[in-house]
Amino acid sequence: MSLLPLVGHSDLQARLAGAADSGRIPQSLLFRGPPGIGKQRLALWLASLVQCAAGDRPCGRCTSCRLAADLQHPDVHWFFPLPSPTKVSGDRRREKLEEARLEELEARRANPLWPTTGDEAASIFLPIVEEIRAKAVRRPAMGRSSVFVIGDAERMVPQASSPEAANAFLKLLEEPPPDTLVFLTSSRPGALLPTIRSRVLQVRVTPPPLEAAQAFLVQYAGLSEGEAALAVRRTDGSIGSVLALSSGDGADPRVEADRLLACALKGSRADRLRVAAGYPPAGARGAFSGMLEALETSLRDAAAVAAGMPEAALDAGVGDRIGEVRSLAPERLAEAVGHVEAARDAAAGNGNPETIVSVLLADLSNALGIVSRNAQPNISARDGTDSRFLHIMEDYG
């Protein structure tokens, strides 16, 4: 197998091809845009265009194009965050990380539908940057340039306290060897060091049209028309997020956030406890905070709509996510946002996810649910609901 077609970015591709034809591709570019919409695929496409020797680039037929499509081109180097190797140090660490990168490339060759994962432990560690710099000073093996595609580039600073990798990378951007091109991608460009941001030309990548994403998923990922249509609406056209969901490799945090919100609105106290018990008592920090962030975003969007902002001003797909919550009073939604903020603080302080969710669901339920002041004891007894938390949820949906 080789790389699958790039879909839904033809306007941007035309602009980039035009720039390349007139020799105006800058030495460093940053493709920014939402996760899973094809930014790295686009950067790889541009890399193959740069390497292609034909007139109508990339031709897709020459040796260079075929090698690039197969992730085998000696002058197209694709880097991305990797988990930290354990129990190794020094040069051995760099070797291990390079081995892991080659293995991942092999896996992507075998299955070009790689999902967008939320593995926050993966980073672009200093030894990876050293590997990039070592490759950058070598002359291209067969092409006219060496091209570096660096996905999720904001992971170069996993913690503010260890900016070494980003600083080492900065040196490469400051004094790039001739014939070296660096294409970064990021869905969180704000997390890049400002000094890196200021040295790259930013290219905004928008999600593919939903029909294009849907057709791609039907053709290559085996989804039915209906499944694909729903999935692209829920993810705003993020093919990578849909693949993550269907592979179970890492869920779209928005889907889990929707589930929590639905439970807070309509679930009984027993439901809420059951959902909370599904969270681990420790760990799972990255995905967990991503989910809380998504929940906060949904509630903020709902508050904006409830306060009168036209839904059209929000991102596509928001309407589906915020659902009935938008009809609640803005003050209630603001209160709910405050509860999520508190939960995010607790999560950042390494709190126990199970407890955090349990408290959050009760708080959200109080803030958003229609609490009966005169709960009927028999209803309370039926589902074991504490009357203080009782919703008249039957009136709700």
Cβ distance to Zn ion smaller for residue 64 or 123: 64
Identity of the residue, 63 or 219, whose beta carbon is nearer to Zn ion in the bound complex? 63
Stretch that binds Zn ion, among 49-57, 249-257, 372-380, 389-397 (CB under 5 A): 49-57
Q: Which is nearer to Zn ion, 48 or 238 (CB)?
A: 48
Of the residues 43, 65, 124, 181, which one makes contact with Zn ion according to CB under 5 A: 65
Question: CA-to-CA distance for 350 and 283, rounded, in angstroms?
Answer: 8
Among 1, 14, 54, 309, binds Zn ion (CB under 5 A): 54
Q: Which stretch binds Zn ion (CB under 5 A): 62-70, 113-121, 208-216, 248-256?
A: 62-70
Q: Which residues contact 16 (CB under 8 A, 6 or more apart)?
A: 25, 46, 49, 203
Task: Indicate which single residue of 6, 19, 59, 88 sits in contact with Zn ion (rule: CB under 5 A).
Answer: 59
CB nearer to Zn ion: pick between 181 and 318: 181
Nearer to Zn ion by Cβ, of 78 and 279: the residue is: 78
Contact 184, 156 (CB under 8 A): no
Q: Residue 54 CB, nearest distance to Zn ion (Å)?
A: 4
What residue type is 275 in one-letter code? V
Q: Is 62 in the site for Zn ion (CB under 5 A)?
A: yes
Query: ∠ CA(309), CA(314), CA(318), 5° rounding?
Result: 110
CB of 65 to Zn ion, least distance (A): 3
Instruction: Give the shortest CB-216-to-Zn ion separation in angstroms.
Output: 23
Segment lying near Zn ion (by CB under 5 A), choices 52-60, 197-205, 277-285, 382-390: 52-60
Q: Which is nearer to Zn ion, 48 or 385 (CB)?
A: 48
Does 263 bind Zn ion (CB under 5 A)? Our answer is: no
Residue 52 makes contact with Zn ion by CB under 5 A: yes
Taking the C-alpha atoms of residue 144 and residue 64, their distance in angstroms, rounded to an integer, is: 11
The CB-of-185 to Zn ion minimum distance in angstroms stands at 23
Taking contact as CB under 5 A, which single stretch among the options 59-67, 193-201, 228-236, 373-381 is the one that binds Zn ion?
Answer: 59-67
What's at 201, amino acid-wise? L
Residue 101, Cα to own-chain centre: how many angstroms? 19
Residue closer to Zn ion, measured from CB, 52 or 322: 52
**CB nearer to Zn ion: pick between 78 and 389:** 78
Which one of the spans 4-12, 57-65, 123-131, 197-205 is the region binding Zn ion (CB under 5 A)?
57-65
- Beta carbon nearer to Zn ion, 71 or 255: 71
Q: How many residues bind Zn ion (CB under 5 A)?
A: 6
- The CB-of-21 to Zn ion minimum distance in angstroms stands at 14
Minimum distance from residue 66 beta carbon to Zn ion (Å) = 8
Q: Could you list the residues that contact Zn ion (CB under 5 A)?
A: 52, 54, 58-59, 62, 65
